[in-house]
Amino acid sequence: MGRNKLIEKAMLLPMSKLYGMGVAVRNRMFEWHLLKQHKFDIPVVVVGNLSVGGTGKTPHTEYVINALRGVYRIGVLSRGYKRNTRGFIMANKHSTPSDIGDEPYQMYQKYGRHVRVAVCEDRCKGIEEMMRIDPTIDLILLDDAFQHRYVRPSLSIVLMEWNRPIYNDDLLPLGRLREPQSALNRADVIVVTKCPSEIRPMDIRLIYEHLNLFAYQKLYFSHYVYGNPVSLYPDETTYVLNLSWLTKDDSVLVIAGIANPKPFVRYIKRHQASVTVKQFADHHNFTRKNFEEIKKLYDKMPGRNKYIITTEKDAVRIANNPYFPHELKACTFYIPIKVEFLPYAMPSGTPSFDKEIRSIIKSPRE
């Protein structure tokens, strides 16, 4: 560790300890019932994490939607991070990413015919309002709400990224943890996300040892499967793109405004084209100047054929942005992703993720 890193750590460590004390006091207040949890008459499923950003909450929330929507009438509630509005909003066909946030908008676009999607900073109020508007809702799915303890969940799913295990991290601001590892005791299911397709048994065993879970807790391993590129502006595109068709004579400009774009960029770079990456902050609101910079990068790229490829989450914000250059629309695509679980990584006899979460919802742990 370099001298500057040591100095930075020395400065941040006291702040991290103070933050940890605040988190501990808050959690104790819930345990001692000084802060009250609201229990609803219908199941409430929480998907969250202990660290900030990049664990794959949205794809896993979508997986849970797909796993449960044939059994329940689902209401998805999010706080709507970085939206330009406040209070409760139920998504509808007129909603925009600015109104409800990019991730809720993405889920509404995918599942709006099958589930209700809403945003509200106050999760208790949001649940009550969703149930008032649509009494047919019989399950609430809370996105990124593991720390929102005012709602008592029927099932808590906590995500941990393969390359950023919580046991190698520190509390904010020294590290990326919102809560210490001991907070996992509240979780029913833990998912190690963004795993490689093949995991050594030794690595699986080490994760079990480090997490030291209770007998009633289940640990699962998942990875992303990337789909074929989809045109961001289908009315402007006359051809289909397949990454396996790319050659060394082609160029790709990758636009990524997500917390951890490395796996996405690595996937694009597996193919033969020359790759240029333009990275933005997570949930970035693209400006006219950003698109001018993107146009300049695109124009400078060599190649017989040139493409722009972005993430599914970024596509939501780009497609609704009036400043995106018209001349780039025909060559701009996004890559959809889906979550798959790795059954070989679980001990023999472990129920599938889908079966386990349905079982817990029916008989929640008190």
Binding positions for ATP: 51-58
Q: Is 34 helix (H, G, I), strand (E, B) or coil?
A: coil
- CA separation for the pair 80, 94 (Å, rounded): 16
Q: What are the residues facing 38 on neighbouring strands?
A: 151
- ω before 173 within 30° of 0 (cis)? yes
Q: Is 313 helix (H, G, I), strand (E, B) or coil?
A: helix
Q: What is the dihedral angle through the alpha carbons of 18, 19, 20, 21, rounded to the nearest 10 degrees? A: 50
Q: Which residues of 327-337 are buried (b: 16+ CB within 10 A; e: fewer)?
A: ebbebbbbbeb
Q: What is the dihedral angle through the alpha carbons of 58, 61, 65, 71, rounded to the nearest 10 degrees? A: -170
Binding positions: 51-58
Q: Where does the chain have alpha helices with state H?
A: 3-31, 57-68, 97-100, 102-111, 123-133, 201-211, 262-269, 288-300, 312-319, 353-362
- CA separation for the pair 264, 266 (Å, rounded): 5
- CA separation for the pair 288, 292 (Å, rounded): 6
